[in-house]
Amino acid sequence: MNRPAPFGFPNGKAIRLLLPSLVLALAFPAWASLGDNVTTVQNDKARMKGTLRSVAAQSYVTHEIQVPSGQKVREFVSTEGTVFGVAWEGPFQPDLQQLLGSYFEPVKQAVAQQHRGHGPISVETSGFVFQQGGHARSFHGRAYVPSMVPQGVDVTEIQ
Amino acid sequence: MAGLMFRPWCHRVLMSLRSNKGAGVRILGTLAGVCCLALLAACSSGSGSSTSTITLVGASCNPTSITSQQTSQCTASVSGTGSFSSTVFWTASGGGTIAAATGLFTADTVPFSTQVTITATSATDATKSGSTTITVAAAGTVTGVTVTCSPTSVQTGQLSTCSAVVNGTGAFSPGVTWSASGGTINPISGLFSGSSAGTYTITATSQQDSTKSGSATVTVVPAVSNALPVTVDGGPPAYQALGNVYTNGAFVSVTVCTPGTSTCQTIDHVLVDTGSVGLRLLAKGAAGGELDPTAFPQQIDTNGNAISECSLFVDGFAWGSVSLATIQMAGEVASTVPTATVAGVPIQIVGDPRVPAVPASCSSQSVVDKGSLATLGAYGVLGLGTFQQDCGPGCVSTTSPPAEYYVCPGGACAPTGVGLAQQVTHPVWVLPQDNNGVLLQLPLVPSGGTTTVNGSLIIGIGTQANNALGSATVFNTDANAFFVTNYNGQTNSCSYIDSGSNAYFFPSAGNPLLVTCSPTGNAKGFYCPASLLALTATNQSAPNTNGSTGTVAFNVGNASTLFTNNNGNNIAFSELAAPNAPVNGCNSFDWGLSFFYGKSVFTAIEQQPVSGTNFVGPFWAYF
* Chain segment B350-389, per-residue pLDDT in tens: 999 999 999 999 999 999 999 999 999 999 999 999 999 9
Confidence of residue B1 (pLDDT cuts 50, 70, 90): very low
Q: What value does the mean pLDDT of chain A take?
A: 75
Picking from A91, A98, A142, the nearest residue to B394 by CB comes out as A91
In this prediction, residue B94 carries a pLDDT of 84
pTM over cut 0.80: no
Question: Which segment of A56-60, B196-200, B210-214, B330-334 scores lowest on mean pLDDT?
Answer: A56-60
Q: So what's the pLDDT on residue B584?
A: 67
Residue B192 has pLDDT above 60, yes or no: yes
Check residue B50 and give its pLDDT.
57
Triad B224, B226, B229: Cα angle to 5°: 145
pLDDT 10s digits, B558-607: 999 999 999 999 999 999 999 998 776 789 999 999 999 999 999 999 99
Residue A31: predicted pLDDT: 32
Q: Mutation test of the interface with chain B: which of A9, A86, A103, A118, choosing the one with the most B Cβ atoms within 10 A? A: A118
Task: Find the residue in A nearest to B576 (Cα).
Answer: A117
Contact across the interface for B583 and A69, Cβ inside 8 Å: no
- Asked whether the predicted pLDDT for residue A17 surpasses 50, the reply is no
Q: According to the model, what pLDDT value does residue A155 have?
A: 87
Residue B63: CB atoms within 10 Å: 11
**pLDDT tens by residue, B216-251:** 999 998 889 999 999 999 999 999 999 999 999 999
What is the structure's pLDDT at A42? 64
Given a cut of 60, is residue B19 above it in pLDDT? no
d(CA B579, CA B159): 45
pLDDT on residue A46: 67
Mean confidence (pLDDT) of chain B: 90
Write out the residue limits of the CATH 2.40.70.10 domain(s) in chain B: 229-422
Is the pLDDT score of B497 beyond 90? yes
At A111 the pLDDT is: 92
Nearest-neighbour CA in chain A from B316: distance (Å): 9
- Fold exhibited by the domain B229-422: Cathepsin D, subunit A; domain 1 (2.40.70)
Domain ranges across chain A: 32-157
Q: What is the end-to-end Cα distance of chain B in Å, rounded?
A: 63
- Set of chain A residues whose Cβ sits within 8 Å of the Cβ of B277: 136
Q: Taking residues A24-29, report their average pLDDT.
A: 30
The gap between the terminal CA atoms of chain A, to the nearest Å, is: 56
Rounded distance, CA B243 to CA B237, Å?
10
Residues 573-592 of B with CB under 8 A from A: 578-584, 586, 588, 590, 592
* B141-221: CATH superfamily: Immunoglobulins (2.60.40.10)
Of B156, B150, B206, B151, whose CA–CA distance to B178 is shortest?
B206
Which of B249, B400, B581 is nearest residue A120 as measured by Cβ atoms?
Answer: B581
What is the percent of chain B with per-residue pLDDT over 70, rounded to a whole number? 92
Q: Do B583 and A119 touch (CB under 8 A)?
A: no
Burial class (CB in 10 A: 0-12, 13-18, 19+), B304: exposed
Which residues in chain A have Cβ-Cβ distances shorter than 8 Å to B246?
118
Mind telling me how many Å the CA of B204 is from chain A's nearest CA?
48
Reported as a single tens digit per residue, the pLDDT across A64-90 is 888 777 788 888 999 888 999 999 998
B421 touches chain A (CB under 8 A): no
Suggest the residue from B273, B314, B517 to mutate for an interface test with chain A (most A CBs closer than 10 A): B314
Q: Do B368 and A69 touch (CB under 8 A)?
A: no
Q: What is the pLDDT of residue A2?
A: 37
Q: How far is the alpha carbon of A9 from chain B, nearest alpha carbon, in Å?
A: 15
d(CA B366, CA B41): 96
Chain B residues whose CB is inside 8 A of the A119 CB are: 314-315, 498, 500-503, 505, 578, 590, 592
| pLDDT at residue A71, as a whole number | 83
Percentage with pLDDT > 70 across chain A: 72
Q: Determine whether the interchain pair B498/A119 forms a contact, defined as Cβ–Cβ distance below 8 Å.
A: yes
**Which is higher by pLDDT, B53 or A46?**
B53
Residues in A touching B243 (Cβ below 8 Å): none
Residues of A in contact with B417 (CB under 8 A): none
